[in-house]
Structure 1
Amino acid sequence: MKTILKSLFVVVGLIMVSCGGDKKVDKFGNPVSEDKTTTETAKSETSAFPLAEKGKEIFEGKGTCATCHKPDIKLVGPSIIDIAKIYKEKNANMITFLKGEGEPIVDPTQYEVMKANFALTKTFSDEELQSLEQYIYSQVK
């Protein structure tokens, strides 16, 4: 009987210790400490660009933008960082361009390639276009 009680206390004690908080673990069960500066930076970026995550999904998926644009290198089209910097410097309207109503200001030599994509971007809702714009601007640190 004493052995059963001791075993019960050990099991209860282990349960209490293991349930002692919101400890984060990696996929292998190892404890992970959270870097507060990284978390704070992510929160401030999220608050500055609340639609950026949705924009990233559109950019990489439905919009097929990632086929020609990469974050920091020119592929077919200019890099996301270059696009954001130039639109910011010129105080230009990216959404107007994505609707096919604006002039090319980043790389006019690639305008004909981009023009083919207006058939798709013109179908996006205003919120989807704002999301794309916020995602692009969020890439400039």
Structure 2
Amino acid sequence: MKTILKSLTLAIALILISCGGDKKTDKFGNPVSDGKENVEATKPEVSEFPLAEKGKEIFEGKGTCATCHKLDIKLVGPSIIDIAKIYKEKNANMVTFLKGEGEPIVDPSQYEVMKANFALTKTFSEEELESLEQYMYSQVK
């Protein structure tokens, strides 16, 4: 009787283990992905800069910022990385500057060139300006 009970317990355990889901393995017993993993589990955490994507669109489009600013090199204006680092270091407000209400702190020699763009940036909504700021900060690693 004990032998039958042990065999039955072993059989049930093997059935439960083998029916543990639709997990596939290769011939060596390694798990194989079927591409249908839980997407929720692989989603990135909520970004520190939720408006950055919108800011990128404005930067490259309507804002025409990309004409003078590049990610890591000085073109006409300072690079995005330099701007973001300096504003962060000085705890300054980029939005205030883009409204034409702040002093130039990154490259004052280029202020006159940037000043011409205030006619455009002053028409942006607060959210658009914050989006630009978040995009700039999101580029600094």
What is the rounded CA distance, in whole Å, between the counterparts of 1:22 and 1:87 in structure 2?
Answer: 43
Q: Structure 2 unaligned runs (5+)?
A: 1-33
Matched with 1:75 is 75
- 1:34-86, CA deviations, whole angstroms, 9 ceiling, x for partnerless residues? xx9xx77xx34x51000000000000000000000000000000000000000
Q: Does residue 92 of structure 1 match 2:92? A: yes
**Structure 1, unpaired ranges of 5+:** 1-19, 24-35
Alignment of 1:6-21 (within 5 A): none
Q: Output one character per residue of 1:108-139: Cα deviation in whole Å (capped at 9) or x when no partner.
A: 00000000000000000000000000000000
Measure, in 1, the Cα distance between the counterparts of 2:35 and 2:79.
Answer: 43
Q: Deviations over 1:6-35 (max 9, x none)?
A: xxxxxxxxxxxxxx7549xxxxxxxxxxxx
> What is the identity, as a one-letter code, of the residue corresponding to 2:120?
L
Larger-Rg structure:
2
**Structure 1 residue matching 2:130: 3-state secondary structure:** helix
TM norm structure 2: 0.70
1:96 Cα shift?
Answer: 0.3
Percent identical among aligned pairs is: 86
1:128 to 2:124 alignment:
no
Superposed CA RMSD? 1.9
More helix by share: 1
Superposition misfits of 4+ residues, deviation over 3 angstroms:
20-23
Letter of the 1:140 counterpart: V
Distance 1:108 1:22 in 2: 53
